[in-house]
Amino acid sequence: MNEEFKSGLTVVPGGAGSDKASEVRCAVRFPLALPVVVSAGTDEHTALTKNVSASGVLFEMSSPLRVGEGIHFSLRMPGGVLGTPHDVLVDCHGRVVRCSMSQSQSHVAATIDEYQFVEQ
């Protein structure tokens, strides 16, 4: 049996412009465009998610964040995606792992280190 399969990790070939031959994915990514406010230190930034997984998120925002910076954000996950009758609010803490520019927008990738479901 393949070692990648046994470990539960999936190797995904690098995309155009990628300097890596492959990347390791630990969780399935869902292409969700959700509005969010990202708090970094005392600053708040409006953003839109590009994709979300159990271990991380990719934001599109107007200004970059520093790699390694701690962030806080809450996501209102659609019930239809989660298979629940109502939307679910998830409060998340993480850190920025990558930041790049695409035309006039910054793409900020972050881990989700801790999360909790918020009762509504």
Compute the distance between CA of residue 49 and CA of residue 58 in angstroms, rounded to an integer: 6
Tell me the percentage of the chain whose pLDDT exceeds 70.
78
Binned at pLDDT 50, 70 and 90, residue 116 comes out as: very high
pLDDT in tens, 61-101: 999 999 999 999 999 998 888 889 999 999 999 999 999 99
Compute the distance between CA of residue 24 and CA of residue 90 in angstroms, rounded to an integer: 25
The predicted model gives 44-70 an average pLDDT of 96
Cβ-based neighbours of 32, under 8 Å, separated by 6 or more: 49, 51, 52, 77, 78, 81
The predicted model gives 1-14 an average pLDDT of 38
| pLDDT at 17 exceeding the cut of 60 | no
| pLDDT at 46 exceeding the cut of 90 | yes
- Per-residue pLDDT at 27: 76
- Position with higher pLDDT, 14 vs 119: 119
The predicted model gives 105-114 an average pLDDT of 97
SS3 state at 74: strand
Dihedral angle sign, alpha carbons of residues 84, 88, 94, 96: positive
| pLDDT at 7 exceeding the cut of 50 | no
Domains of the chain: 28-118 (2.40.10.220)
